Structures are given as C-alpha cells and as structure tokens.
C-alpha cells in the first residue's frame, strides 16, 4: 500500500510539473515542442523582406509544421502553404520567367515566395493581424470585410491569427538568439 501511495504521489508531482511547464512554455520546452528547421532560409528571407523572423517561423509552423512537402485539401503546397496560382503571380512579380508547381516543394523557393507575399500583405494592410487574416482567408475576403466595416468574419481565421501571434511569441522565447538578423 505504501508503494502504491508513493507512486501516486510521484505521479501527481510529475503531472503538476508537466502542467506547469506546459502552461509557462519556457524556452527549452519551446525548442523541443516547436522545431525551427531551415533557420538560414528563414533568417535570410526575413532579412530580405524586412520581416520579423519569429513571425515568419510562426507562419511556417502554423501552415506546415516545417514539413517541406506538405499539401492541403485546398491545393496549397510546401512550407508556407502557397496556392500554385498565388505562387505563379509572385514568381512574375519577383522577376521569374518560368514557374513550375514542383518549385513549391523547394524550401528556399517556397519561403522566398511566402516571405514576399507576407511582406506584400503587411504593406497593403498596414498591420500584422489584417495581413495574417489575408494570408489565411485571402485578400478578397479581407477587402470585403473591410469595405463592410467588419472585423475578421471567419472564426477559423480569427483562430489562425491568434495562433500565429502566440507562435511568434513562442519562437522569440525559444529561439531569440538564433532568429536575430545580422548585417
């Protein structure tokens, strides 16, 4: 009986410790739970497009969990879950002469296009929340909501924006020194 009680107490203590770590999400825990793959690519494109690297990492994690060959049911591809039509337009805007859908499986190209698009949305809308809403729900939806004087109309998009903003905070906490832009 004493052994059972001891095991229960140890289990309760471990459960309490895990709950504390999970709720406070210290840097070491963030690094275990939320990977930061392709650091050089993330930092490089964040620098090139004047983006917060923690924001860029947060969008990538939310979109694909850093899986380079991720596919969505809507046809979005790669790390930043770009639709081929959107990516083709970005390729034209950034000086590309030929676009292939297979290019979106290349982490460097996918993050370059996604970074350009995120910068475009930030410039167009002037604030991060609206830009993230447009990244998730599309510019046409956001433009309609704004014309109608509404906020973000889709619950899924509100949750997306909130989640990316939380992830940005986590990536800063867990990888702050690795996400600093140099030069």
Active site residues: 63
Whose tokens are 């475009």? That residue is 120
| Euclidean distance between the first and the last CA atom of the chain, given in angstroms as a whole number | 64
Dihedral of CA atoms 18, 21, 25, 29 in degrees, nearest 10, equals -70
Longest dimension (CA), the chain: 75
Residues 6+ away with beta carbon under 8 Å from 1: none
Residues 6+ away with beta carbon under 8 Å from 3: none
């Amino acid at each position: 009986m004493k052994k059972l009680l001891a095991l229960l107490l140890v289990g309760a203590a471990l459960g309490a410790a895990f709950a504390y770590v999970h709720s406070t999400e210290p840097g070491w825990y963030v690094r275990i739970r939320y990977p930061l793959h392709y650091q050089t690519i993330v930092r490089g494109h964040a620098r090139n497009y004047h983006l917060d690297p923690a924001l860029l990492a947060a969008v990538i994690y939310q979109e694909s969990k850093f899986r380079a060959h991720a596919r969505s049911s809507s046809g979005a591809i790669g790390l930043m879950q770009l639709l081929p039509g959107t990516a083709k337009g970005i390729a034209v805007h950034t000086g590309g002469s030929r676009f292939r859908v297979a290019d979106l499986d290349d982490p460097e190209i996918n993050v370059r296009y996604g970074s350009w698009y995120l910068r475009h949305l930030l410039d167009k809308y002037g604030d991060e929340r609206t830009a993230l809403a447009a990244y998730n729900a599309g510019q046409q939806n956001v433009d309609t909501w704004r014309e109608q004087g509404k906020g973000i109309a889709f619950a899924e998009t509100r949750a997306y924006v909130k989640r990316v903003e939380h992830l940005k905070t986590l990536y800063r906490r867990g990888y702050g020194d690795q996400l600093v832009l140099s030069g």
